[in-house]
Amino acid sequence: AQKVTQAQTEISVVEKEDVTLDCVYETRDTTYYLFWYKQPPSGELVFLIRRNSFDEQNEISGRYSWNFQKSTSSFNFTITASQVVDSAVYFCALSEKVYNFNKFYFGSGTKLNVKP
């Protein structure tokens, strides 16, 4: 069963618009971690945020904010006042403990195009 679903394949916005990337996850564990990564055209996955399953407080970092709702198994990511440099593929990931390591399950990604 797919553990992380990113239903939006591609989103296009004009610079300065706000945009929200959706992420829905599935797990039977009570303890787990959620992540967002950014993948620019260079290919490297850049860590953005980590959130544990016991902390449902929303987080804001500059123009980025994250909304974690356990009741709906969602961990959405909002970029405020988008910029061209935000153009990339964004991945949501779920980390589960498997034996003694953390196995990541990634969604299929959302490609964000920010046009000037």
Partner 1 sequence: DTGVSQNPRHKITKRGQNVTFRCDPISEHNRLYWYRQTLGQGPEFLTYFQNEAQLEKSRLLSDRFSAERPKGSFSTLEIQRTEQGDSAMYLCASSPDVANYGYTFGSGTRLTVV
Query: 89: closest CA among 9, 16, 13?
Result: 9
Selected from 15, 50, 57, 65, the binder of partner 1 by CB under 8 A is 50
Selected from 8, 13, 33, 87, the binder of partner 1 by CB under 8 A is 33
Residues 76-105 that bind partner 1 (CB under 8 A): 91, 93, 95, 97-105
Selected from 76, 77, 86, 107, the binder of partner 1 by CB under 8 A is 107
Give, in order, the Cα–Cα distances in Å from 7 to each of 30, 56, 57, 83.
24, 22, 24, 22
